[in-house]
Structure 1
Amino acid sequence: MRERVVAACDGASKGNPGPAGWAWVVADESETPARWEAGPLGKATNNVAELTALERLLAATDPGVPLEVRMDSQYAMKAVTTWLPGWKRNGWKTSAGKPVANQELVVRIDELLAGRSVEFRYVPAHQVDGDKLNDFADRAASQAATVQEPAGSGLGSPEPPPSPDTPAKAPRRRPTAAKKSGGASSARTIKAKFPGRCVCGRSYAAGESIAKNAQGWGHPECRDQAASNV
C-alpha cells in the first residue's frame, strides 16, 4: 500500500455559467500522471465545476491512504476547510444568514472527507513551468467543458491538449557571434578636437570627421578600406 497519494483536480466553465466540465488526475510515485478522469456538466458555474472535480476525486481514491490534493481554486479549498465548520454550526447558513451556495456538493464532500487524511495544497493556475498535475487537470477539465464528453485513462483517451490559457515558453535565443571588425575598434565617427595625421600619411584638421582604426585615428574612408581588405 502506498504511503501517500498525490493528486490534482480542476473545473472549467466556458462562460461562467456556461458549458462546464470537471477533471482529476492521480500521480504515480514520481508525480507523473498515472490515471485520470474527466466529465461534462452541461451548463454550470466554475465553482460548481471545481467542487464537482473534488467530489469525484475523493470518491475515486482509497479513503485509507493519505491524500494530497492540489487545486487552483481558492473558493473550493476554503469552502471545504475554512468555511465548512461555521456553515455546519449555523445550520448551513453563511455568516450573513444566507443559504450556503452549492450546499449539496459541499455536504457530499464533507461526508467523503470524514475519517480520512487529506492535505490541500494551493497551486497557481496557468503558469509557465507550473505544477504539472494541476496543468493536466486543467487541460482535461477544459476539454470536457468544450466537447461535453467524458474522457480518462480508463476509457483509453489520449492526453488532453494544451490549454490556450497557459502562456507558451519563450524560445531560447542562440547567442550571436560578434561581427568581425577587421581591426577597427569602433564603427562610429567623431569630430577631431585637434589636427593630426592619418595612417595613410595625409593630415586631418580640427573639426574634421575621423574614425578609430587599428593604428589610431584617421580618415573614415581609410578605416573602411582597411576593413574591406581583411
Structure 2
Amino acid sequence: MCRTAPADWHDQGVVERIIAACDGASKGNPGPAGWAWVVGEGSGEPVRWEAGPLGVATNNVAELTALERLLAAVAPDTPMEIRMDSQYAMKAVTTWLPGWKRKGWKTAAGKPVANQDLVVRIDELLTGRTVEFRYVPAHQVGGDPLNDFADRAASQAAVLQQPAGSALDSPKPPPSPTGGARRMSTAAPAAGPVVTVAAGKKAPGPPRTLKAKFPGRCRCGRSYAAGEPITRNDDGWGHPDCR
C-alpha cells in the first residue's frame, strides 16, 4: 500500500527512498510497554533509531505508537518502506481506517474504534506521503534484521522504561535471549519473508488467521467484530497480534 514516508535528515539534494521498521512491546498486555523504530541501510544495518517507554499499555498501543513516532521523525517528502510484524497496526491504517472514518470512527459492530487518537494521528501523518507497508513475521531465524532490531529495542524500553536511541548515543539493544533473528543473514533486507501488503488483502505469514463468523472478545480484553481476522491463542480465539 502506498501513502508515503520520508526522512528528516535528507534536507537537500535528491530525496531517496528509505527502509525502516517499527515495533512495540508490552510485558503483560497490558503491562510495562515500550516502542521503537529504526532506519537502515541496504545491508540491513541500523543507521538511526529511537526507543521510548510508555508506562503501562497494551501491545496494540505500543505498536501504533511506534508507527506514529517513526512517521513524526521522518520528513514528509521522502518515499519510505515500513516493515512491521503487527497485522493489527498495519491493517488499522491500510485496510480498516477508511471504513472507520465512513462510519464516524465506529467498527463494523458499531463500537468505538480502539486507540482512535493514535489512528487519527497516524492518518494525519500519512496524508500526502508515499509509504509502502510490508508485513514481516516476527522472531524468525533468517528474519528481517531491521524488524528484529526494533523488536529488541522496544522490549528493552518496556523493561527499563527509559528512552534510548542513536541521537542519545545509546548502545544497541542486546540480542534476544531466545536467538531468533540474531542468526539472520546481513543480505539486503528486501529478500526473504518480506511480503508486500495491499489494501484489503490479508498479510500472509504465521500464525494462520481466519475471519470471525461471530463477534467475540480477545484475551487482551478488547472485542472483535464478525469479519475481523482472528487466530487461535492459548486460551481461545483473538487478535493475531495478541497471540
Q: Same fold (TM over 0.5)?
A: yes
Q: Which runs of 5+ in 2 are unaligned?
A: 1-13, 184-243
Instruction: Give the aligned partner of residue 118 of structure 1.
Output: 131
Indicate whether 1:56 and 2:69 are aligned.
yes
Aligned residues: 170
Aligned to 1:226: none
CA distance in 2, matches of 1:18, 1:150: 17
Aligned to 2:122: 109
How far apart in 2 are the matches of 1:132 and 1:53? Answer: 17
Counterpart residue type for residue 70 of structure 2 = L
Quickly say closer, same or farther: Cα 1:168–1:116, change in 2 above 3 A: closer
Look up the equivalent residue of 1:160 and give its one-letter code. Answer: P
How much has 1:32 moved relative to structure 2? 1.8
Q: Is the 8 Å Cα contact of residues 24 and 57 (structure 1) preserved in structure 2? A: yes
Cα distance, 1:23 vs structure 2 = 0.1
The normalised TM-score by structure 2 is 0.68
Name the residue aligned to 2:145.
132
Contact 1:67 1:118 in 2 (8 A): yes
Deviation at 1:163, TM superposition (A): 1.9
Segments ≥4 residues shifted beyond 6 Å: none
CA distance in 2, matches of 1:63, 1:138: 24
* 1:11-22 matches, cutoff 5 A: 11-22=24-35
Q: Mark the runs of 5 or more structure 1 residues left unpaired by the alignment.
A: 171-230
1:108 aligned counterpart, secondary structure: helix
* Kept after mapping to 2: 8 A contact 1:24/1:36: yes
- Does residue 36 (structure 1) correspond to residue 49 (structure 2)? The answer is yes
Distance in 2 (CA, whole Å) between partners of 1:169 and 1:77 is: 24
What's the TM-score, normalizing by structure 1? 0.71
Q: What is the identity, as a one-letter code, of the residue corresponding to 1:38?
A: A
| Partner SS state of residue 81, structure 1 | helix
Q: 2 CA distance for matches of 1:168 and 1:116? A: 30
What is the RMSD of the two structures over their aligned residues, measured on CA atoms?
Answer: 1.4
Task: Note the alpha carbon deviations across 1:189-211, whole angstroms, 9 max, x for none.
Answer: xxxxxxxxxxxxxxxxxxxxxxx
Establish whether residue 145 from structure 1 lines up as the match of residue 177 from structure 2.
no
CA distance in 2, matches of 1:168, 1:76: 21
Quick one: distance in 1 between partners of 2:172 and 2:34?
16
Structure having greater relative contact order (Cα 8 Å, sep ≥ 6): 2
Contact 2:36 2:50 in 1 (8 A): yes
- 1:122-168: per-residue Cα shift (whole Å, max 9, x none)? 00001112100000000000000000000000000001001234438
Question: Percent identity over the alignment?
Answer: 79
Preserved contact between residue 176 and residue 182 of structure 2 (Cα < 8 Å): no
